[in-house]
Homo-oligomer: A and B are copies of this chain.
Amino acid sequence: MKSLKYAILGLLCRHPMTGYEIAKEFNFELAEFWYANHSQIYPELKQLNEEGLVNYDIEISGEILESKRYTITEKGHSDFIKWLHKDEKIQKTPKDVFRLRMYFSGNLDMETRIHLLENQRMQHYKRLNSLKKTFEQYPEVPPRNSDRFGDFIVLRGAIMRQENIIAWIDECIGYSKEDAGE
């Protein structure tokens, strides 16, 4: 696996970053498909440094506050590129607690079932809108070789995924309401 390793190396390919900045990326922009807390990132950076895949320079803010700005090494870069080229089996479909609930929804009365579905729908809808807002930053498809192209297609994928979940929930609500009067 070791995907975190490559997620970090990939970011450092773009430009040098501190652990703090990487953690921020993993909790905002990238969060649509990857995330990690700083408690995972700092030890990982330490290890990558020991393996010679990254170096760092210490920067001082103000009087004494230190931060380590990590730079990818040549070895780190080639490791990353190698990983990026690998053909991959599609991953196991992700665990989904809500689908697990719906799988067992025969144990719920129709009212509760619809309530749960509509609650999820509402939340996914909000999320979709916030993604669409972000998407407005791209009035056109960015150049295919820029970093922004990667950002763009992944964001587009997140929107499509979100719309699809909502469509599924709508279908479920529809099925549940069908002949509900009988």
Contact = CB atoms under 8 A, between A and B. Distances in A.
Given A32-B93, A106-B149, A172-B153, A100 B164 contact: no
A102 to B, nearest CB: 6
A1 to B, nearest CB: 7
Interface stretch (A2-10, A15-23, A45-53, A57-65): A2-10
A153 B35 CA distance: 29
Given A34-B100, A100-B10, A164-B160, A85 B110 contact: no
A34 B95 contact: yes
A75 interface: no
Contact of A97 (B88, B116, B141, B175): B88
Contacts of A120: 88, 90
Contact of A93 (B3, B33, B123): B33
Contacts of A89: 123
A105 B175 contact: no
Contacts of A147: 106
A60 to B, nearest CB: 31
A102 B147 CA distance: 10
B103 A85 contact: no
Contact of A160 (B7, B94, B127, B168): B168
Contacts of A106: 144-147, 149-150
A104, A115, A154, A158: residue with the most chain B Cβ atoms closer than 10 Å: A104
A31 B100 CA distance: 10
